Every structure is written in structure tokens, then in C-alpha cells.
Structure 1
Amino acid sequence: MATTAPAPLRSGDKVAIVCPARKASAEELAAAVATLQSWDLEVVLGESTTAAQHQFGGSDEVRARDLQRQLNDPSIRAILCARGGYGTTRIIDQLDFSRFAQDPKWVAGFSDITALNSHLLALGHQSIHGVMPMLFHQESGEESLESLRRALFGEEVAYSAPAHALNRLGTATGELTGGNLSLLQTLTGTRSECPTAGRILFLEDIDEYLYAIDRMMVHLERTSKLQHLAGLLVGHFTNPQDNTIPYGQTPNEIIDHYAGKYGFPIAHHFPVGHEPQNMALICGREARLVVEETGAHLTYL
């Protein structure tokens, strides 16, 4: 299914910040708001950015209502999810994308927002997997933030990763899909699940036990998510955990054990995930991945 790309942002456009998962506050978002205003954008803080229920940005009802309002409002040209955490899957089935489909807009975020990225792609809409407002000003994150700006405004973006011993050489062309590994497993069998056949999959995660990474890779293989990939980008697996008895493999080695048997190109240590180097990837956009001895390169077609 061909995917729909929202129109690029233009100077003066209005964008909304929402909290579909973990809570934030206006104070925490102030610096990001100033940055968006410096891009000549008008910023609207959604209801969920001033709400809280335990760790969430308000109740499920509040978060769903806020996101629905921004999805429906034709004056809002992009929706930026303030942060990840947990909670997007709790509200995803309450959302109606029928009005959004008539006039798509950019939705951006990563981590728990993988659920929204994947759901949109399942409906045929492109979205941005990229740095979120709560992380706009993390140390050494300037390049990631600039990549988000370029993606939102429709400017050219291309990325490179250094050579890695586990890389699999080759060239692949396909639409990008993926995100947080644990979320992708959670979405399997739901309306938010995306086909991977013929696509370039990207994976990242944080704080996961090594055995759990292995278990999730087994799940991807058993549900035929790996066999027919065009290519694979292995992003950051930040702060992996281990048991008293060591698991014995790194996250990259675990992923290679399953993905490496199929012959498609693989680029390890790609700059995406829970690190300052988290380049904006457009889910659903066709791209070309070239993995050579000297490193890997990703460009959009």
C-alpha cells in the first residue's frame, strides 16, 4: 500500500505538543517551545501537557481527547509527542483517524510513540520517528534536533553510520518501518501491527535485559517479521541489563544471530534510539540503504 506524506511545514504554521504517554509540564517544555518558535512556528500546548494521573499525562480519557482534538484540528499542521514512557497503547484504539486521513499532518515521536508511528503506517500514513520536546536540548543532541527540523520542513536528509564488524554488506530499497523493539512485539496481532516484508526495519531499545532482547528477536522471527525484510538498521540498545549468570552476548550479537541468517543488508550502530544521536526517520518513506566496508548510508528516494 502506498503511503501518504503530510505536507512539509511552512513558516507560521501551528504545531501542537501532547502527552499521549508519560506526563510533562509547561515548565519542562518551555525550552522546546522557544526552539519551535525560533523555527517560526506557532506552538499550542495540548490539554495533556497540564494534566497528570500518576505517571501519565492525565487519564486515558484526557490523553485520548487531547490527541483526537489535535488530529482533527485542520489548523494544526504537526503533532509533537512530548515524551515517551508508557501509555500510548492504552488509548490508541479510542482514536478516530478518519478526519486526519482527509488532511494528514506530521506526527513525531519515538520510544513509546512507536505505537502511534506503527498505527499510522498501518493506516497508510507517514510519520516521524525522532527526538521529542523533552529531549530537544539534551547534551550533544543538536544534530538530532536539526534532523527533526529538516524532516518536518521537507528538507533533504541523509545519514551515515561507521563500519561495524557485524554489518552485512549490500544494498536495499524499501519503506522504513520500526522503532522500539519491545513496542513492536507488543503491537503484534493488533490493528497497529505493520507488515515488514519488503521494508527496511529499524530497531532500538533501552534498559532491556539481554535475555529479553533475545526473546523478542525470537518473537520477530517466529511471526515472520525478519524473513522477508529488504534491510535492517540496528540502532542504540542503551543500558542493557544482565542477570547474575551472564547472558554471554551483546545486543548486537543477539540481533545478528537471528537477522544475519537471511542475507539482507544490516547496518549496526545506526544513529537512532535513546541516545543524543537519534536521527529523524520517516516511517513509510521509501529509502535506500547501502552497507559497504567503510560504513552504511541511508538516503530517501
Structure 2
Amino acid sequence: MEWIVAPAVKAGDRVAIIAPASPVSVDLLEAGIAVLRSWDLVPVVHPQVWSKQGYLAGSDEERADALVGVLDDPSIAAVVCAQGGYGCTRLLELLPISRIGAHNLPSKRFFGFSDITALHSLMRVAVPGYVSFYAPMLATSYFAKSTELSRESLRLSMFAPNLQSACPPLKGRCLQMGRARSTNGVVSGRLVGGNLTVFTNCLATPWQEDMERCILILEDGLLSFILALHQFSLQ
């Protein structure tokens, strides 16, 4: 399969911000926007970001239209999700695969994690080989007010000219004390996965991406190996 990697972001580029899941914290988002500006980027906050409908950042239609709108805007170089939470799986039936594939997705880098897993799967089904980035989001405390590692991770993913420099080796870095370990050996393959709950909910649906000869990476707040096996066995 041929990889489709959108051009790297450069100083002066317009970067769209959407909220396809839960409502955002205004303070955290403004702090995240300030980080983008410090990188000489031009944040473009879609009006939908400020919407709120219960536990969602606006109606399903609003959030789906926001995604399509920024993908269809030729002036936008990249799309960054403000935060996750809940709601992206509700958008899948409103975003036909052909509709996403027909837009300018291959020309833009897309960033987000957690609930955004559903959109990553959708995009890679719509455009086989498209590389999206499971990366930090702006309106999260880790990014806006905490670790420099989170900011550097997003910056590299945005500005790096190729995948090797966008995703540097993790050798020698502890991902989570006492829970991450490395073993000898080398494997290669496409990286798929994301949030355990969202990813398993996409299995056996039109939005399940090709998993043949892949490397599966999962995250979840209460993830355990036994739980992961149970989730997959249910599917």
C-alpha cells in the first residue's frame, strides 16, 4: 500500500480547529490556541467549536458539517481536534465514506486522539493509505497547561517533512512507569488502533479499517490486557 502523507505544516499556514465530540473548556482552548500562534501558525476556530448541546459540542449535524467544511476549505493546511470525550461514532453515518474521500483530505494533516479514533478509522477507509496522526489535542490540560512533551509531540507531527521525523523512536523513554515495557526483536507494519472502546465499536462495520499485517496499538483509561482480549472476543 502506498502511504499518503499530507504536506508538512509551515509557518503562516492556517490550521482549522474543530470539536467533533464533547464541549470544550474555553480557558484550555485559548491556551492551546496560544501555543499554535507561538509556532507562527494561524488558528482558524470553526464556529461549531463554541456550540453546546448537552454533553456534545453541538448537534451531530453541526459537528459533521464542521469536519466536512474544514476538509473542503483549500486555505486550510491541517485540522486539529480540540478534544475528545464522546460523540464521534454518532457522526459516522452522517459522513458517507464517498463524501469524505471526495474532499481534500489527502492535502491536510489531521490530528486527534481518544474518541477521535472513529474519525481516524473513517478517513483511512475513505482514502486507503492516508496517514492521520494520533496526536495531542489543544483543549486538554496535558497540552494547554502541562507537559512540554505533549506540545513537542504535536509540533513534530505538524512540521516534520516525513514520517520518520514526525514519529521519532521511543527507545529509552518511559511511556508510563511500571506499565510499559520493551522486548527484544523488530517488527514492521502499519499502525492501527486507538481508543479501545471506540476501536472495537468500529469492528465489523463499514468503518473498520484493514488490519492485515498491522501493528495494533490501544489506549484506554482502564485498559488491561485481559479486558482488551475480552473486548475483541465479543466482536
The verdict on how the C-alpha distance between 1:166 and 1:92 changes in structure 2, with shifts beyond 3 A counting, is same
Contact 2:31-2:145 within 8 A present in 1 as well: no
Contact 2:22-2:83 within 8 A present in 1 as well: yes
CA distance in 2, matches of 1:165, 1:41: 34
- State the secondary structure of the residue aligned to 2:66: helix
Q: Tell me the residue number matched to 2:144.
A: 137
Q: Tell me the residue number matched to 2:49.
A: 49
In the alignment, structure 1 residue 121 sits paired with structure 2 residue 127: no
Q: Give the letter for the 1:137 counterpart.
A: A
Q: Tell me the residue number matched to 2:107.
A: 104
Contact 1:74-1:103 within 8 A present in 2 as well: no
CA distance in 2, matches of 1:108, 1:44: 15
Q: Tell me the residue number matched to 2:169.
A: 158
Structure 1: which 5+ runs fail to align?
A: 224-301
Contact 1:181-1:204 within 8 A present in 2 as well: yes
Deviation track 1:207-229 (CA, whole Å, cap 9, x = no partner) reads 46x6xx63542343576xxxxxx
CA distance in 1, matches of 2:234, 2:56: 33
In the alignment, structure 1 residue 86 sits paired with structure 2 residue 86: yes
Q: Which has the higher strand share?
A: 1
Deviation track 1:40-75 (CA, whole Å, cap 9, x = no partner) reads 111111122110000100011111111110111111
Contact 1:23-1:48 within 8 A present in 2 as well: no
Q: Give the letter for the 1:126 counterpart.
A: V
Offset at 1:114? 0.8
Offset at 1:168? 4.3
In the alignment, structure 1 residue 149 sits paired with structure 2 residue 164: no
CA distance in 2, matches of 1:196, 1:65: 29
CA distance in 2, matches of 1:3, 1:33: 30
Q: Give the letter for the 1:20 counterpart.
A: P
Q: Which has the higher helix share?
A: 2
TM-score w.r.t. length of structure 1: 0.67
| Runs (4+) off by over 6 Å | 163-166
- State the secondary structure of the residue aligned to 1:202: strand
In the alignment, structure 1 residue 71 sits paired with structure 2 residue 75: no
Q: Tell me the residue number matched to 1:183.
A: 198
Contact 2:135-2:157 within 8 A present in 1 as well: no
Structure 2: which 5+ runs fail to align?
A: none
Deviation track 1:248-289 (CA, whole Å, cap 9, x = no partner) reads xxxxxxxxxxxxxxxxxxxxxxxxxxxxxxxxxxxxxxxxxx
CA distance in 1, matches of 2:20, 2:39: 24
Contact 2:71-2:104 within 8 A present in 1 as well: no
In the alignment, structure 1 residue 12 sits paired with structure 2 residue 49: no
The verdict on how the C-alpha distance between 1:24 and 1:5 changes in structure 2, with shifts beyond 3 A counting, is same
- State the secondary structure of the residue aligned to 2:217: strand
- State the secondary structure of the residue aligned to 1:57: coil
The verdict on how the C-alpha distance between 1:165 and 1:47 changes in structure 2, with shifts beyond 3 A counting, is closer
The verdict on how the C-alpha distance between 1:41 and 1:166 changes in structure 2, with shifts beyond 3 A counting, is closer
The verdict on how the C-alpha distance between 1:165 and 1:77 changes in structure 2, with shifts beyond 3 A counting, is closer
Task: Number of aligned residue pairs: give it.
Answer: 219
In the alignment, structure 1 residue 214 sits paired with structure 2 residue 226: yes
Deviation track 1:191-219 (CA, whole Å, cap 9, x = no partner) reads 221222212211110146x6xx6354234
- State the secondary structure of the residue aligned to 1:49: helix
Q: Give the letter for the 2:114 counterpart.
A: S
The verdict on how the C-alpha distance between 1:177 and 1:103 changes in structure 2, with shifts beyond 3 A counting, is closer
TM-score w.r.t. length of structure 2: 0.84
CA distance in 2, matches of 1:33, 1:44: 9
Offset at 1:24? 1.2
